[in-house]
Amino acid sequence: MAKKMIMPIRGRFIALAAAACLGIAGCSSTSAPETTPTPNDVATTVVGSTEPTSVESATSDSPASATESPAESASSDSGSSTGEDVDLATQTFAVTPQQAIDKGLEKSGDGIVHSIELDWSRRSNAWVYELDILVGNTDNDVEVHADTGEILDHEQDDTDDQEQAIDLGSPMTWETARDKALGAVQGRITSWKLEWDDNYTSYEFDIEDSSGDEIEVEVNVQTGDVSIDD
């Protein structure tokens, strides 16, 4: 008899709980659960964004010609060298003959400078001073770039020769020797040399005449005599 009384009581409690739940909005079975964006949703949002990416910003900020290559930089600097087809009768260089001699002595050590020549070097593609300097029993051949003062080459040879030093200003200046040479042959001076050889010192000028021939003119600095070797 006790078992028959339990079941109706449980039924009434269940009914009351159900009725109470219907009065509470949070118990509604129709409310949609809040969802969290999936990684795919996030990716879609980023791709569709109108904000520029870091790559796009770098591209838009980069100038059309960003940086010169080393080859382009070298090309732009090469214009500082004096061209081959100048006339040495009037052409001046950043490095004077005396400065070239000083640089040569710095390289070889203190010695006797017995020759200096200014000539176009096809190997260096530049005007070059070539110096012969005797230090003890060693003859030094030093090449100096006429525009930059750079030492381009230095060679040494043993020798028993006795040499005497040249002097750019005495007993005859370069200008006086040039005028004497051009008085004998008209044209463009393409190279010159001051050298002690065969027991006397002389200037030698290579002069290109109007026909394109190159003529060598020698001026003895002691006597002032001019000789032509064509």
What local confidence, expressed as pLDDT, does residue 108 receive?
97
pLDDT digits (tens, 9 = 90+) for 78-93: 345 899 999 999 999 9
What span, in angstroms and rounded, lies between the C-alpha atoms of 193 and 68? 41
Residue 24 CB partners (closer than 8 Å, separation 6+): none
Q: What percent of the chain has pLDDT over 70?
A: 65
Among 89, 96, 135, 86, smallest CA distance to 116 is for: 96
Q: Residue 205 has which token pair?
A: 């000028």
pLDDT digits (tens, 9 = 90+) for 179-225: 999 999 999 999 999 999 999 999 999 999 999 999 999 999 999 99
- CB proximity list for 184: less than 8 A, separation 6 or greater: 217, 226, 228
> Tokens 């004096």 — which residue?
82
Tens digit of pLDDT for each residue in 128-181?
Answer: 999 999 999 999 999 999 999 999 999 999 999 999 999 999 999 999 999 999
Predicted local distance difference test score (pLDDT) of residue 80: 59
Please provide the average confidence, as pLDDT, over all residues in the chain: 77
